[in-house]
Amino acid sequence: MDSVDVAICEISDCLKQNANPSLAQSYEYNVKLLYFESHPWEKKERDVIFHLMASKECSAKDFCVTNEMVGRKFGNAIRSTITNFRSKTNDERKIECIGSHGQTVWHEPNNNPPSTLQIGEAAVIAEITQTNVVYDFRWV
């Protein structure tokens, strides 16, 4: 957990020959990396997240505050990356959406029941970037 990595990509799809267009697996997807930046975590931020991951004494408030903090970090990193991408490439295309996996703070896929938790409030990212956010990718 060294940095927030932000990639600006162009994603296109193509329907496979003789495939059903209503099924996602009927498409081939192409991803082209246009720009990339890493935004380092500050020590204080890392300490807060690691405390949340390791402590047995965290409250709901601790999770909520850290969720917002991580969302703000992600949103600011994304906004900065978009600004730098546009200034360095003169590419003014609209960013259609942001995908955020979040920051994993708990992951036990082999537990019964399996469990995982990623934080980084998507609504905060959307507010900062003024862009729709796709999130909650992982279900164990």
Of the candidates 137, 97, 99, 132, the one whose C-alpha atom is nearest the C-alpha of residue 117 is 137
pLDDT per position as a tens digit, 33-64: 999 999 999 999 999 999 999 988 899 999 99
Which has the closest alpha carbon to 10: 87, 78, 95, 82?
95
Q: What is the pLDDT of residues 65-112, one digit of tens each?
A: 999 999 999 999 999 999 999 999 999 999 999 999 999 999 999 999
Calculate the CA dihedral of residues 37, 1, 119, 98 and round it to 10 degrees.
20
The CATH number of the structural domain formed by 41-135 is 3.30.420.40
Domain boundaries, given as residue ranges, for the chain? 41-135
pTM of the entire predicted model: 0.89
Say if CB 71 and CB 101 are below 8 A apart: no
